[in-house]
Amino acid sequence: MTSEYTQQVAQIAGPLEAAMDAMAGTLSANQEVVLHNLTTPEHSIIKIINGHVSGRGNGDHLLAGPEKDTGFALLLQKTNNNKPRTISDYKTVTASGKTLNSASTIYYSEEGYPLIAFCINVDPSPFEQIRKSLDALLPSPEEAAEAVDLNLGGLIDQSIQEIIDKYSVPGKKIQKAQRLKIVAEMHTKGIFKMRGGVQQAAQALGVTRYTVYNDLEVMNEK
């Protein structure tokens, strides 16, 4: 079939090779673009950019397609429809065992035989390494939650102390009348709605949390 379809292969491959020349300067190092002559599958590569991704060069063969994917295999068989067909977002495996993210468009002869495959392969390992590095730098969800709790606790303590300083005299015991004003303002500012707010207020006032609850009841009775 090789000589029979040489002209059709050249007609399809020519524009695609020109497009690859345009792409060559814009691809990342982990992105490979390959043009295959499917009439010579054992040495199918006509042109390749960034062949280091799969470890191949001109004259090498197709990669192993999606494992157990009969749909991909069907694209490489004769079809009654000679329009180009695309399969995207599948996995291929290199000779060294590296898994790549791939997409391919198959071009057919007028009779429906597969002639050309235009393939894009992406090595995801650089992104995976970046993700692992970031994961190592970022706190775990448990650590992040603990940090939020600590920051919130600090803000509550600061607000409580500011209110206490507003109504009390340094060095003197806080009287009940003063404490009721302090508790009232804490209530207004929503401190008691925050987790641990009542306990933090009680500690700052030098009373039990039950005393704070009693003060709140007194306020509600007024």
**pLDDT confidence of residue 127:** 76
Average pLDDT of the residues of the chain: 83
Instruction: Give me the residue spans of the domains in the chain.
Output: 6-131, 139-221
Q: Give yes or no for residue 94 having a pLDDT over 90.
A: no
- Dump pLDDT digits (tens) for 165-201: 888 878 788 888 898 899 888 888 888 887 788 888 8
49-64 core/surface letters (b: 16 or more CB in 10 A; e: else): bbbebbebeeebebbe
Q: Give yes or no for residue 1 having a pLDDT over 60.
A: no
148-173 core/surface letters (b: 16 or more CB in 10 A; e: else): eeeeeeeebeebbeebbeebbeeeee
Q: How confident is the model at residue 145 (pLDDT cuts 50, 70, 90)?
A: low
Most confident of 8-22, 118-132, 189-203: 8-22
**pLDDT confidence of residue 29:** 92
8-22, 68-82, 97-111, 112-126: segment of lowest average pLDDT? 68-82
Question: Can you give the C-alpha Rg of the chain in angstroms?
Answer: 36
Q: How confident is the model at residue 148 (pLDDT cuts 50, 70, 90)?
A: very low
Q: What is the CATH number of domain 6-131?
A: 3.30.450.20
Q: Give yes or no for residue 36 having a pLDDT over 60.
A: yes
Pairing verdict, β 99-108 and 31-37 = unpaired
